[in-house]
Amino acid sequence: MNDLDATTSARVDDTSTGTSGSGAGVATAAAQSVAPAQHGLFVRVTRRMVLSQMRALERGHLTIIEEGETLECGDLSAPEELRAVIRVHDIETWMLVALRGSVGAAEAFMHGQWSTPDLVRVVRVMVANRKVLDGMEDSLARFIMPLWKVAHWVHRNNRKGSRRNIAAHYDLGNDFFRLFLDETMMYSAGIFERPGASLHEAQVAKNDRICRKLDLKPTDHLVEIGTGWGGFAIHAAKNYGCRITTTTISQEQFDLAQARVRAAGLESKIQIVKEDYRDLRGSFDKLVSIEMIEAVGHQYYPDYFGTVGRLLKPDGMALIQAITIADQVYEAALGNVDFIQKYIFPGSCIPSITAMMQAVSTSSDLKLYHLEDITPHYADTLKIWRENLLARKADAQRMGLGEVFLRMWEYYFSYCEGGFRERAIGDVQMLLIKPLCRRDAIVPQLDALDRSNRVSF
């Protein structure tokens, strides 16, 4: 963290982010006219190459402002949510994008080399133009990707690697995560059951939805893979009376979760252990794992689901909440190292539903009983996290967190929110059951459905 902040560029210019996002009435300039001759040949060539790709935008519209001139890319009639403006403050931005693809764009943002009044819109426009985005990754960046893959392989999630990777993310400090999480300390998608619901209400609703899907009872012994800071375990024990064994390999999370359980007076109900999920033993009625599988690694999906199946009684149930990627791009994604893997969560990997179910079928006797897509709720959750972090920027700085680090996390939240809003990534709750489970059908209540499109006869 200190090494990263030590590289903070003096070129950060946040005053430019007040630019209108519409781009209406701005004259169009040829891409090559904005690159002064005094810049090096390679910089000018990479700039021309990237801007040539940007002009191929088909969905959405991007206004690029650089040194007083403007380039319009894409559909001028695009809807407002797919209209974005960026200001380029340093021509070397284009070289970073050409050499490092989307990771280079993130790095340039982190160092203030470009800015925008709405980062989520920029992400949405680029995600909506997958061919253009892929073209950037396939240009000069493809020569660097093998080196990143080697570095990412070093972060594979064997037992030692998992502890190192988890520490790199979660052991940033509990006070940092308190800056943007609500009082439940849930670091996963909430579920907003009504317009205007608060983040706290959404996280409580998510926890309760999981408990009801698992049909939790006071007689149940539940095992949780991935304690977080104890939010779900406390909710389940307090409201459903069940016993819970929950595991984390983050020291920071372990310490705070222990303290929160003691403060809630639930020591007799909740046991927190610090063990790798593969080392868990016992026989449990129910199992829950909330957005932990992203830290497992694709090589270890059979180990993960094999453990889930092994820990459950013959009539048991497991609820897995997971961030997902489309089946159609899963294999290609395995060959890339993205911004999150490089800067936020080393060793992370987003599964597809098919990849998970293949591991389920080959490593356990579990079967899929119910699946619910909650993707829009994650976008709304991330929006609030980002707003909370930016609102408490002064607090973060007092904690010693520098400008580059905070811009990195702003980019992280915006990058993910844009991906969820464009459905490039998703979030699901999967209910898996053992062969002797006879759980009642899960049917939505009619009064919870939108009846506005019903036809009367």
**Alpha-carbon span 115 to 16, nearest angstrom:** 7
Q: Counting runs of H as helices and runs of E as strands, what totals does the chain give?
A: 18, 11
Quote the strand ranges of 145-238, DSSP E.
221-225
Are β-strands 284-290 and 61-66 bridged in parallel, bridged antiparallel, or unpaired?
unpaired
Give the neighbor-by-neighbor strand order of the sheet with 284-290.
Answer: 270-273, 243-247, 221-225, 284-290, 312-325, 425-433, 367-373
- Residue 73 annotated among the catalytic residues of the structure: no
Question: At what angle are helices 119-128 and 403-421 packed, to 10 degrees?
Answer: 50
Task: Please pick, among 73, 211, 349, 416, the residue that the annotation labels catalytic.
Answer: 416
Q: Which two structure tokens, joined as six digits, stand for 192? A: 């907003």
Confirm if 105 and 97 have CB atoms less than 8 A apart.
yes
The HSE-up count of residue 57 (CA atoms within 13 Å, CB side) is: 28
**Alpha-carbon span 364 to 348, nearest angstrom:** 23
Confirm if 311 and 223 have CB atoms less than 8 A apart.
yes
Confirm if 291 and 322 have CB atoms less than 8 A apart.
yes
287 closest CA partner among 222, 346, 213, 364: 222
Q: Residue 333, exposed/middle/buried by CB under 10 A (0-12, 13-18, 19+)?
A: middle
Catalytic residues, by residue number, are 416
